[in-house]
Structure 1
């Protein structure tokens, strides 16, 4: 009999950060900050913009027992969405007033988008809020370890039409890394299965790899045009 997604979420459960339970191979990632991620994204022209009054939480879920078998949970946002349509992203979304805290929000959103059983997760660290001025986004990355893999998949294709567990090895492969450019701005990205991973998601992954020392040397001198590269991918983004 095929395994099923959890019938219901368990709001308010498993919402305490437990850095002491981090596996050894993830410990060096516990103290990353939102400023580190902003630095990785790269700065476009200075903009005097106020942050959005709404804050979002995303779940950066790493599975496996070591770097050799490490995985990360990612989604492809539906091209029909108004915000970040067609982008590859960590499960996540806005923090609701009913959420106990941002960990609760990240786990709830992950369940809504992928069917993730929150009891299979060990929340490890909050990287602090990342403010991305271009879209006024305030993003809180919650690093977590997927201690017991469970079934995940597309729950609502209008929100996320692809859900996949990607081997970190593929992201570390220099052949899958590239630098995107637009005007005077450059930012790291990944090319995976026809998708382009860029923006906050790529910056958070790049920061993780840099902070842990997992990064391998890759070509950062060749700059690919942002718009052309996205247009030629499977992302199907409505606008960049």
Structure 2
């Protein structure tokens, strides 16, 4: 890891004008994240989070939320070629198998902070050159059951992140730089729930041909779009069970295993 990225060094001034609105309002992301979460579900998450901390089963982690795009696009716009780095986890993993995710993972004892963790994990998963990246802001820690991860999303920017791809097929199935406009497109949005014994909670999701982005990652992206002012009205009444939504994924998508 480059010494430039040791610890939690942030460079918010490196954000291009079109990302400034998001960076300047990261404090609003937690509220946008929980806006569609029913109070009883939030309460259950808080209980589980506290229990994980008390029992010592809490695991700290960080993920990289990397936007790429031109430096010179004006404020208040979304460049056509802006993209977001997303992976799909290998189907053989113990936790969150086959799920779309931001690159990232658990903190190591020698990590100096969440920025270090996010960049290290992203490099290990996607082969990205972390010296090309500018960490802009650290978001509030979020709890993910049932893995007991307490995750810190690290917002970052690169005008040109260089080549990325699958480094370890045992951990990652797909690495893709997905156009932000694909997430903005109302036709790609839906609500997804997973069958539970006692409750059915549906969260925002994105159907993007070769991947269904749902759960924690879908909720974070939805919050980012809202806070940045990029979201367009979409049909929140389109609610599907997870297996039914996954059946819509088209394996012949143009999102390949790597983007250069």
Give TM-score scaled by structure 2 length: 0.80
Q: Work out the number of aligned pairs and report it.
A: 226
Question: Given the superposition, is the C-alpha separation of residues 11 and 95 from structure 1 closer, same or farther in structure 2, using an over 3 Å criterion?
Answer: farther
Shift of 1:104: 0.8
Question: Given the superposition, is the C-alpha separation of residues 133 and 35 from structure 1 closer, same or farther in structure 2, using an over 3 Å criterion?
Answer: farther
Any conservation in 2 of the 1:11–1:104 contact (CA below 8 Å)? no
Shift of 1:135: 4.1
How big is each residue's C-alpha offset from its partner over 1:151-210, in whole Å with a ceiling of 9 and x where there is no partner?
A: 110100001121111111111111111111354412100000232100111111111100
Q: Which of 7, 11, 35 is matched with 1:18 structurally?
A: 11
Q: Which of 193, 205, 209 is matched with 1:193 structurally?
A: 209
Any conservation in 2 of the 1:91–1:109 contact (CA below 8 Å)? yes
Any conservation in 1 of the 2:193–2:239 contact (CA below 8 Å)? yes
Identify the residue that residue 31 of structure 2 maps to in structure 1. 36
Q: Which has the higher helix share?
A: 2
Q: Which of 122, 128, 131 is matched with 1:119 structurally?
A: 131
RMSD: 2.1
Any conservation in 2 of the 1:116–1:151 contact (CA below 8 Å)? yes
Q: Distance in 1 between matches of 2:179 and 2:19?
A: 15
Give TM-score scaled by structure 1 length: 0.86
Identify the residue that residue 3 of structure 1 maps to in structure 2. none
Q: Distance in 1 between matches of 2:107 and 2:131?
A: 20
Q: Distance in 1 between matches of 2:160 and 2:132?
A: 5
> Superposition pairs for residues 195-234 of structure 1, below 5 Å?
195-233=211-249
Any conservation in 2 of the 1:40–1:203 contact (CA below 8 Å)? no
Shift of 1:228: 2.4
Identify the residue that residue 59 of structure 1 maps to in structure 2. 64
Q: Distance in 1 between matches of 2:231 and 2:2?
A: 36
How big is each residue's C-alpha offset from its partner over 1:106-154, in whole Å with a ceiling of 9 and x where there is no partner?
A: 0000000000101110000001201234543211000000132311101
How big is each residue's C-alpha offset from its partner over 1:4-61, in whole Å with a ceiling of 9 and x where there is no partner?
A: xxxxxx2543241111221111122223246336405624644232234211100000
